[in-house]
Amino acid sequence: MIHRRAKQVDPDEQLVRRIRDGDAGAFSAIVDRHGAGLYRVALAMCGNGADAEVLVQDSFVAAFEGVAAFAGKAMLRTWLTRILMNLAAQHRRRENVRKAARLGAVSEPAARQAEGGKDFEIDFHEALNSLEEPFREVVVLRELMGMSYDEIGEALQIAAGTVESRLFRGRQKLKELLADYLPPDDVLRSRRSEQ
């Protein structure tokens, strides 16, 4: 008896094929598979749950409209992420214009400092916001999505070597900014010796 190993088929690939064959309902499975991951990236990029939700919805709508043109060279997740990152960049530009118009307003971090509060989520968003956009993008895609350098390069249209150097610099900055939340060096040393 001959045993044939079934060829592993990417579920995303199957879903895209179904959509191309006219099964528009298959898109809801794509939304279920990628919604949460994209939302976390959107939230990290814009720091606001309501805006993140709109960004993800808009990304899915754009993907739905363009799925027929999706060549399938990149992974579906990478393609969806690229759409999301483009929309997030547009959103950020609009926000910057809006913030520039609010000159007299007290900034959120300043208001919180006055209260003496400390919250990882706020500090994390603040730290991410202080990174320049190219560094923030690679850090978010690596740390939150666990994407490979090639995937990140594909999503952001940059070389894998550029991903490596941006990630290095982004992490160096982030390490300084989140130092209060990281274990001190002697704890890290002792942790390693235990291993």
Nearer Cβ to another protein, position 95 or 123?
123
| Residue 102 or 175 having the CB closest to another protein | 175
Q: Please, what is the minimum distance in Å from the beta carbon of residue 158 to another protein?
A: 14
Task: Using the minimum distance from each CB to another protein, give the nearer residue, 79 or 149.
Answer: 149
Q: Closest distance between another protein and the C-beta of residue 167, in Å?
A: 6
Rounded CA separation 104/97 (Å): 14
3-state secondary structure the chain: CCCCCCCCCCHHHHHHHHHHCCCCCHHHHHHHHHHHHHHHHHHHHHCCHHHHHHHHHHHHHHHHHHHHHCCCCCCHHHHHHHHHHHHHHHHHHHHHHHHHHCCCCCCHHHHHHHHCCCCHHHHHHHHHHHCCHHHHHHHHHHHCCCCCHHHHHHHHCCCHHHHHHHHHHHHHHHHHHCHHHCCCHHHHHHHHHHC
Question: Residues in the site for another protein, rule: CB under 8 A?
Answer: 24-25, 27-28, 30-32, 35-36, 39-40, 43-44, 49, 53, 56-57, 60-61, 64-65, 120-121, 124, 142-144, 148-149, 160, 164-165, 167-168, 171, 174-175, 178, 181-183, 185, 188-189, 191-192
Cβ proximity to another protein, 99 vs 118, nearer residue: 118
- Residue 112: CB minimum distance to another protein, A: 18
Q: Pick the closer one to another protein by CB: 44 or 76.
A: 44
Supply 121's token pair.
């989520």
The least distance separating another protein from the CB of residue 83, rounded to whole angstroms, comes to: 14
Smallest distance, another protein to C-beta of residue 114, A: 24
